[in-house]
Amino acid sequence: AQSVAQPEDQVNVAEGNPLTVKCTYSVSGNPYLFWYVQYPNRGLQFLLKYITGDNLVKGSYGFEAEFNKSQTSFHLKKPSALVSDSALYFCALTNAGKSTFGDGTTLTVKP
Amino acid sequence: DGGITQSPKYLFRKEGQNVTLSCEQNLNHDAMYWYRQDPGQGLRLIYYSQIVNDFQKGDIAEGYSVSREKKESFPLTVTSAQKNPTAFYLCASSDSGGLSYEQYFGPGTRLTVT
């Protein structure tokens, strides 16, 4: 069985401050990990992915994520948050064609 | 203009009726997926298909059915056996059977059953 956990339902940060949205996973074999963002009443948009190679991956809108195999984590980060980053963020895992999503973390960036 | 379309955006049905949600993609993707999204529960996989004429049950397939007769289409039927069908339904597609490729999502269909 595979699973994804996002331990924080809500993350609040001030504009200009760094942000981190946490994700841990459990899977047999090598994980393919993804981050998606959802704006209100819309579908999800892909941000970035880790397949293999460099543990730090860079994605859209200045986001990056760090893959840590020993801690089975894939935390999403951004050096300087924008108010427009406020949205619902999902971490996801794909293994053998099947995808599992975390429950999501609502990020609120305050001016 | 490539992408995934889901129709309709809002759908209302009476309890006991089957209803079919449409999903079409023109991205030439092999794999397609159906998810259900409920508040606070993230996305849960209903069915997925890695190739035409083949599909697999996801984590919550009971009360749902699908078909994959064409590469570009993956309709979902919510049957009367689904005990709590009111939800936001998202369709997605990906290249290469979804092993390492990101998914592209449609805008979703909000189904309300009363």
pLDDT digit string (tens) for A26-37?
A: 998 888 999 999
Return d(Cα B3, Cα B36) in angstroms, integer.
20
pLDDT at residue number A82? 96
Whether the per-residue pLDDT at B1 is higher than 70: the answer is no
Mean pLDDT of B5-23: 93
Nearest CA in chain B to A104: B42
Mean pLDDT of all residues belonging to chain B: 91
A99: chain B residues, CB-CB within 8 Å: 33, 45, 48, 98, 103
Counting residues of chain B whose pLDDT is more than 90, the rounded percentage is: 79
pLDDT at residue number B40? 74
Closest CB to B43: pick one of A32, A41, A101.
Answer: A101
pLDDT at residue number B2? 66
* Phi and psi torsions of A29, nearest 5°: 95, -170
Express each pLDDT in A36-95 by its tens digit: 999 887 779 999 999 888 899 999 999 999 999 999 999 999 999 999 999 999 999 988
Whether the per-residue pLDDT at A14 is higher than 60: the answer is yes
Whether the per-residue pLDDT at B48 is higher than 70: the answer is yes
- At residue B44, the 3 state secondary structure works out as strand
pLDDT at residue number A93? 92
Token code pair at residue A106: 């609502």
Express each pLDDT in B49-75 by its tens digit: 989 999 999 999 999 999 999 999 999
Q: Tokens 């939800």 — which residue?
A: B87
In a 10 Å sphere around its CB, with 0-12 CB exposed, 13-18 middle and 19+ buried, how is residue B40 labelled?
Answer: exposed
Whether the per-residue pLDDT at B97 is higher than 60: the answer is no
B96: chain A residues, CB-CB within 8 Å: none
A97 and B31 in contact by Cβ < 8 A?
yes
Whether the per-residue pLDDT at A19 is higher than 80: the answer is yes
B98 and A99 in contact by Cβ < 8 A?
yes
* Residue B45, CA distances (Å) to B12, B34, B92 in order: 22, 6, 11
The neighbour count for residue A24, using CB atoms within 10 Å, is: 17
Interface mutation target, options A50, A94, A103, chain B, most CBs of B under 10 Å: A94
Give the model's confidence band at B46: pLDDT under 50 very low, under 70 low, under 90 confident, else very high.
Answer: very high
A51: chain B residues, CB-CB within 8 Å: 100
Closest CB to A94: pick one of B4, B59, B98.
Answer: B98
